[in-house]
Structure 1
């Protein structure tokens, strides 16, 4: 994968060949700013670049990373098992009370002994079984909504970690360019010092700039490894097994309108979870309300009296008397739970509205800054840097002026990368809230 340069592609008119030391620096600048310059730049420690190692491994796309996480993420698997466990709850709720067998023996003497065998059956009244089944169904629906919420959260992590890897790769590219440029500039400054054109202080400044560039390059390579591990950890993999991430990091999508987002807010996974919780509380209240009707127990048995020498069939019924416990406390608690769930549903919507508004504002702001940086800031910094290099080659500027222009250029390029990442992160946050990737409109890039 070749990462596009943030520097605008425009034709340049090469300057007239100045004195020997300045011409060397100008050529070094042109070579370092070329897109392929980073491929030939040596590593600061003499080892192969980390990105070259990553290229040896198979590259990975966002779709492939999502498929891996969808199939093997432990958190998502746990949510799926929770939904599967709810199937057992539904099955158990359909069961009726078991009959009860009772055997009684009166008197130990055989000639006067009485044997009794009876079956007792509890009969549920008041819609208890139906209410229990409805409660189980709502708990199953809540577990399934939890799976959808876990999947949305996982997609957010995949999007953010994948874009973090793309960002790290871009930073390595720019750090490599910076290191190559600083190394060439140091060589040119040393030659100018030897020729007596500039004081030794210029070479010292160039050496400091080259050392800082080497440190930045090593840090960028290290962050790439961290980003690879963060992405691979979502499916239990290892970052060393990942190659380059394939994606257009420079492309930023336009944010949806506020009306479009507000219309879809009720379909968000968090709202679905809150509605399922409300349904659960209502079903639980119905279960407690059904307990107001007492359940009778029917009895059917046979009694054998040895002294009489015959069997007696009897039928009985027993009904609890709700004198001390009429389940009033549980009913009151269930009703207040319903009130609580209704308020939590409204509160959840308000929270989501605030989160969507903040994420959309960040999305719009980042896109605006990306457009401004691409159209004005980076080209202006590039022109200022080119002028500083030409002026230094002609002896009009000091190397400190070149360093200032170089710092401004790379700061603007780093800011552009940061704002692109902020745009991608805001988009991922919106998609996490709504649980769907199909929210962005037209995409734009450099």
Structure 2
């Protein structure tokens, strides 16, 4: 008789658990999608604003590079405040002159070339900042969605633990099992409640991190159906590494170094300074014109050291560009492997979860009917929990690998190459 009562109680408990897990939501809430989060983050990000300011600064730098040297005006008074006939100003000579530096060797064009290369680099930096921001937002969104999914699982496990405690208490009450079963069920319930509290804190923290990045609070739900979707996996078409954003940045750094070589070479050509003026001679009350040309003598600094330094920096930039190509190729291969491994785990998690759910159901019914030991039930529930968490981890790993792959394969934007 006691076994019959326990079986009836177990069946009722299992029915209530199933109803709790399949009950539809009371009302549909607004959903914040990943695309919406990306849009909001792009509007509020100070890093994007800083990158745009960097483009403006580089453009102003080109305006500075275009400027020619300023002319000079000089006034000289000679033969005054001396001795003898030069004690006054009667023998003084006053010269008012005008001098104009002339840049030779293409220095101005070389400066503008460096400035143009830096503008291209600044424009690429805006694309880098946007791509990095997209990756960061996507990863935070994945973490937040996964945290909500884990909270849902924790609450389901809490309901199961509560029902398990009721079944154990009823079985103990009718003398169908030892009181130790009730104590074990109590421990499982305490652990389930603790896990719910931890999951709730994780949801609050991950949501808060995402809200700070997008610049506004998230009042609705996150896109759980998106989290369940997996797309492409397996072999992909060959990726042109030289067309990626990372390689374009390295190439732009090389272009700056190459332009600096031309600038250093142009600096080896001495500049001329032309001067012209008028001189007034007080003693004869007459005037005369003065003309001059000055050229620096490259005795101590011939500019060869600067050219050698610029060549070494260009070689360094070229080596880094080749290194970036290898690194990006390796990182893409790793991201593809991570994505495919996660996709395989997601595919396997479906049948595994179905089996774990059925196994836990059988264990609950069997324990309620006295056919199974409570340890079998606890093991089945633990397996179900681990399978659910493994599925969430696999989905999170898949989306994270997809996000990293999208960042690595971000195409380089077209640079205008404006030289005006």
TM-score, normalised via structure 1 length: 0.85
Residues 1:31 and 2:9 are matched in the alignment: no
SS state at 1:249 partner: helix
1:214 positional shift: 0.8
Segments ≥4 residues shifted beyond 3 Å: 33-40, 55-59, 235-238, 255-260
Please identify, of 69-78 and 205-214, the stretch whose mean Cα deviation from structure 2 is larger.
69-78
Alignment match, 1:118? 97
Matches within 5 A, 1:376-391: 376-391=351-366
Among residues 184, 202, 215, which one is paired with 1:223 in the alignment? 202
Cα distance in 2 between the residues matched to 1:56 and 1:113: 97
1:320 positional shift: 1.0
Q: How many residues align?
A: 401
SS state at 1:121 partner: strand
Cα distance in 2 between the residues matched to 1:181 and 1:434: 45
Residues 1:336 and 2:312 are matched in the alignment: yes
Alignment match, 1:291? 267
Distance change (3 Å), C-alpha of 1:338 and 1:309 = same
* Conserved 8 A contact 2:38-2:214: no
Alignment match, 2:222? 245
Alignment match, 2:232? 254
Please identify, of 305-314 and 18-27, the stretch whose mean Cα deviation from structure 2 is larger.
18-27
TM-score, normalised via structure 2 length: 0.91
Stretches of structure 2 lacking an aligned partner (at least 5 in a row): 81-87, 412-420
* Conserved 8 A contact 2:32-2:223: yes
Alignment match, 1:7? none
1:27 positional shift: 2.9
* Conserved 8 A contact 1:161-1:227: yes
Distance change (3 Å), C-alpha of 1:213 and 1:95 = same
SS state at 2:227 partner: coil
Cα distance in 2 between the residues matched to 1:24 and 1:432: 55
1:401 positional shift: 1.1
1:309 positional shift: 2.0
Distance change (3 Å), C-alpha of 1:119 and 1:257 = farther
Matches within 5 A, 1:50-65: 59-65=31-37
Stretches of structure 1 lacking an aligned partner (at least 5 in a row): 1-17, 41-51, 437-446
Cα distance in 2 between the residues matched to 1:68 and 1:106: 71
Distance change (3 Å), C-alpha of 1:395 and 1:245 = same
Matches within 5 A, 1:262-277: 262-263=239-240, 265-277=241-253
Please identify, of 28-37 and 138-147, the stretch whose mean Cα deviation from structure 2 is larger.
28-37
Q: Give the superposed CA RMSD.
A: 2.1
1:256 positional shift: 6.9
1:34 positional shift: 4.2
SS state at 1:259 partner: coil
Cα distance in 1 between the residues matched to 2:234 and 2:387: 28
Among residues 265, 275, 285, which one is paired with 1:309 in the alignment? 285
Distance change (3 Å), C-alpha of 1:357 and 1:35 = farther
SS state at 1:379 partner: helix
